[in-house]
Amino acid sequence: MTDTDYMPEDEAGYSDAPDLYIDLSDNEAASAPLVPVPTNIYHLVCTDGELKESKSANNPGKPMYNLEFTIQDGEHAGRKLWTIACLWAGAAFTIVQIGKAMGRNVEPGQFKVPPVSEIIGTHFEARVIKKGPSKGKDGQEYDEKNEIKWFKEWNGKVPASKEEENYLP
Number of domains in the chain: 1
Residue 9: per-residue pLDDT: 47
Element (H, E) at 70: strand 63-71
* 131 assigned to some structural domain: yes
* 161 assigned to some structural domain: yes
- Residue-wise pLDDT tens for the chain (169 aa)? 455 444 454 455 556 667 888 899 998 898 888 899 999 999 999 999 999 999 999 999 999 999 999 999 999 999 999 999 999 999 999 999 999 999 999 999 999 999 999 999 999 999 999 999 888 888 899 899 999 999 999 998 877 655 444 434 4
* 114 assigned to some structural domain: yes
Please report the DSSP string for 128-157 in residue order.
EEEE--EE-TTS-EE--EEEEEEEEE--SS
* 97 assigned to some structural domain: yes
pTM assigned to the model:
0.77
* 40 assigned to some structural domain: yes
* 133 assigned to some structural domain: yes
* 83 assigned to some structural domain: yes
Residue 68: per-residue pLDDT: 98
Range(s) of the domain holding residue 54: 36-165
* 145 assigned to some structural domain: yes
